[in-house]
């Protein structure tokens, strides 16, 4: 009871101390553009109030969800097939493993070449990024199904398809959940990176999204406080996405640990 509040106090001590030191350093340098906590808060209020920040986040999130959905729709069935059938795995795995070390952001120039600097390229990048964690974890989940369970299903006379539906899919769900969580995190990072890169190359403004907005604040208006607000927003959205997915997983699969 008292130890709990003691723990919270200890946990807050360091961030609060750092904030105070930071604020003091900023006050000493006197320019209103210096990024200090109070200026950052003011910039945040501006950005949220004007609707710029929520709009940018909404744009980015839209792309993330679209790309994520595409990736999941391809990766989950593929992963289950690979996990269930050695033959499928042997034939598909080399391609997957060859492309996995190539980060989504490296594909971005190709995506721009093919689809231009707008949303379709962004969605492609996100889908590519999210695909690999989802497929890898799905395969692992399908493979990890205990052979004894599979044998039990066989002795009960289940067909291959029925086994897939009733044993493999539910059994692999926790691992698929892990893959989706990681995929979401990667997708969010990928969209920020993609928008940043496009913002840097396409002269800014064209693509929208939070990454582009951050770059504009760097290259055009040199608003450091606004950059930091965007950074914090990126972090917060990442947290919310992760926690949200975890809560959804727990609701859907009460039998597994998060």
Catalog residues that contact other proteins under the rule CB under 8 A.
7, 10-15, 18, 90-95, 97-99, 101-103, 105-110, 112-114, 136, 140, 188-189, 192-193, 196-197, 200-201, 214-215, 217-218, 222, 224, 227-228, 230-232, 234-236, 238-239, 242
Kindly state the smallest distance separating residue 200's Cβ from other proteins, in Å: 5
Kindly state the smallest distance separating residue 199's Cβ from other proteins, in Å: 9
Give whichever of 220 and 248 is closer to other proteins, judged by the CB atom: 220
Q: Are 79 and 139 in contact (CB under 8 A)?
A: yes
Kindly state the smallest distance separating residue 51's Cβ from other proteins, in Å: 21
Residues 6 or more apart from 224 whose CB is under 8 A from it?
33, 34, 35, 217
Give whichever of 127 and 136 is closer to other proteins, judged by the CB atom: 136
Q: Are 214 and 231 in contact (CB under 8 A)?
A: yes
Give whichever of 46 and 242 is closer to other proteins, judged by the CB atom: 242
Give whichever of 78 and 153 is closer to other proteins, judged by the CB atom: 78
* Structural tokens at position 158: 């289940």
Name the CA dihedral angle for 206, 197, 229, 65, rounded to a multiple of 10 degrees. Answer: 80
Give whichever of 103 and 158 is closer to other proteins, judged by the CB atom: 103
A 10 A CB-CB count for 161 gives 8
Name the CA dihedral angle for 153, 159, 162, 166, rounded to a multiple of 10 degrees. Answer: 10
Kindly state the smallest distance separating residue 185's Cβ from other proteins, in Å: 9
């Amino acid at each position: 009871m008292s130890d709990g509040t003691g723990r919270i106090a200890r946990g807050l001590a360091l961030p609060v101390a750092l904030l105070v030191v930071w604020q003091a350093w900023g006050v000493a340098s006197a320019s209103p553009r210096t990024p200090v906590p109070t200026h950052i808060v003011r910039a945040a209020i501006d950005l949220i109030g004007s609707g710029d920040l929520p709009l940018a986040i909404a744009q980015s999130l839209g792309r993330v969800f679209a790309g994520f959905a595409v990736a999941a729709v391809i990766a989950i069935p593929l992963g289950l097939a690979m996990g269930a059938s050695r033959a499928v795995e042997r034939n598909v795995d080399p391609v997957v493993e060859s492309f996995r070390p190539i980060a989504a952001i490296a594909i971005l120039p190709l995506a721009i070449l093919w689809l231009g600097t707008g949303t379709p390229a962004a969605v492609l990048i996100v889908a590519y990024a999210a695909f690999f964690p989802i497929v890898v974890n799905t395969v692992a989940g399908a493979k990890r199904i205990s052979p004894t369970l599979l044998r039990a299903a066989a002795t009960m006379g289940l067909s291959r398809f029925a086994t897939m539906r009733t044993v493999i899919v539910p059994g692999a769900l926790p691992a698929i959940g892990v893959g989706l969580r990681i995929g979401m995190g990667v997708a969010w990072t990928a969209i920020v990176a993609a928008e940043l890169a496009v913002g840097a190359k396409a002269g800014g403004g064209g693509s929208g999204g939070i990454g582009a907005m951050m770059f504009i604040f760097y290259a055009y208006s040199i608003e450091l406080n606004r950059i930091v607000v965007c950074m914090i927003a990126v972090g917060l959205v990442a947290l919310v996405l992760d926690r949200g997915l975890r809560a959804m997983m727990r609701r859907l699969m009460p039998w597994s640990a998060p």
